Amino acid sequence: MTMLSSYACALLLLAAWARAAAQPLGPSDSYGNPPRRDPYSDLYASPSPAPEPTPLASQRMELGPPGHRYAFPVYASLPLNAPGGLSQVRRLIIVVHDERRDARHSLRAIAALYAGQAGPAADTLIVAPRFPSMVDAGFHGMPAWRRTGWMEGMPSVAARGRPFPISSFRILDDLLRHFTAPGSLPALQTLVLAGHGAGAQMVQRYAVLNPLDESLRATGLHLSYVVANAESYLYLSPLRPSRTGRGYARYERGICPTYEHYRYGLEDLPAALQNYDGRLSHVQLAARYAQRHITYLLGSADTNPEYIGLDKSCGAEAEGATPLARGLGYWGYEMHARAKHTPIPAHQGFIVQSVGHNESEIYASACAAQALLGDGNWATNATCKALSPHSQP
């Protein structure tokens, strides 16, 4: 090959490389890593339509009691610092993001239900807290967590430039206290805490352990929880779905010695949570949880036992192989395997038809819209089937 032809080949290769380099890359993930497949995506899930863009931006809130204030990032459907801008708000929805920690996406998924309707847009406030990781940029001086500690109620990391460690459950406490303080939302009537995936795990455990529910309802507010496609649940006794597929029994500790430890059971509660529940007994916690208003949403297609992000620890596996199986198992446990002295729970459950582990799609269902927003003409896509008190796993 002549020197001239070699030079020409080199030019052709250089041009091809330049064209490839000029191709647009996908967005970086929530941790700032180079563009790649979302490590938490369900490889078998149907793609959902991209949410409509909104001008929402992260808003900085000051939370906590006097002398122990701290800054925390949230997204909100309305400006939180506009004088008089929240005077019409009758419904507050606090939605917790999933494993991706994309709080803006969670907010949009709910706001899409009433898109274009002036009434709900003015009287509904959606707040999506963003639980930062230690590696996230732009959250200096705010609480931050390692890995998924936030979804278990664990304290934030003690580090220079960060506030004193605070449980993520107390973040939710402080948000509720802030918005229910006199004058904050003068027309407020309804509070909803919702979460999908990891966020649902946090909301369900918070619903069991938080000390504020009854005192808020005593003021006339209606407080409820929406638990959508949780990958695991906090059980209130040693019973689990039987390995035979029929009924409930104690799980074999030889297979999983820690299946009753927190976050799957009430044994070995972390120090940060030991006094959080007021030192109630397991029986008292179960009785109190039965009276709280919970809606479980389970995607009928959330059945992949191998999707990346699914909790595969033995404590989670003791609850079932897939999120759907774990949700049905927990529903059956509440309806049939509870202690004799625990009342029948005031809870409701739904199967969302043809929906997998997908936040946008499950919130766009008729039963989710009802649980989140009440009666109305909402933009829903999926239908629901109510779980019977007689439903078994």
Within 13 Å of residue 234, how many CA atoms lie on the same side as its CB? 25
CA 351 to chain centre: 18
Radius of gyration of the CA atoms of the chain, in A: 23
Distance CA 385, CA 226 (A): 16
**Residues 163-177: tens digit of each pLDDT:** 999 999 999 999 999
What's the pLDDT at 36? 37
Q: Are strands 124-129 and 91-96 parallel, antiparallel or unpaired?
A: parallel
Residue 391 clears pLDDT 80, i.e. is over it: no
Q: What is the pLDDT of residues 12-34, one digit of tens each?
A: 443 443 443 333 333 333 333 33
Q: CA–CA distance from 22 to each of 13, 15, 104, 264, 313 (Å)?
A: 14, 11, 29, 48, 43
Structure tokens at 122: 């003015």
Question: How much is the average pLDDT of 252-269?
Answer: 95
* pLDDT over threshold 80, residue 98: yes
**Residue 374 in this model has a pLDDT that exceeds 90:** yes
The burial of 385, by beta-carbon neighbours within 10 Å (0-12 exposed, 13-18 middle, 19 or more buried), is given as middle
Which residue would you say has higher pLDDT here, 41 or 224?
Answer: 224
pLDDT of residue 55: 45
Highest mean pLDDT: which range of 14-18, 92-96, 282-286: 92-96
Output the pTM of the full model. 0.85
In the predicted model, what is the mean pLDDT of residues 52-79?
84
Using CA atoms, how far apart are residues 63 and 280, in angstroms rounded to an integer? 27
pLDDT band at 341 (very low <50, low <70, confident <90, very high): low
Measured distance CA(44)–CA(298) in Å, rounded: 16
Those residues whose C-beta lies under 8 Å from the C-beta of residue 381, and which sit 6 or more positions away, are 361, 364, 365
Mean pLDDT for all residues in the chain: 86
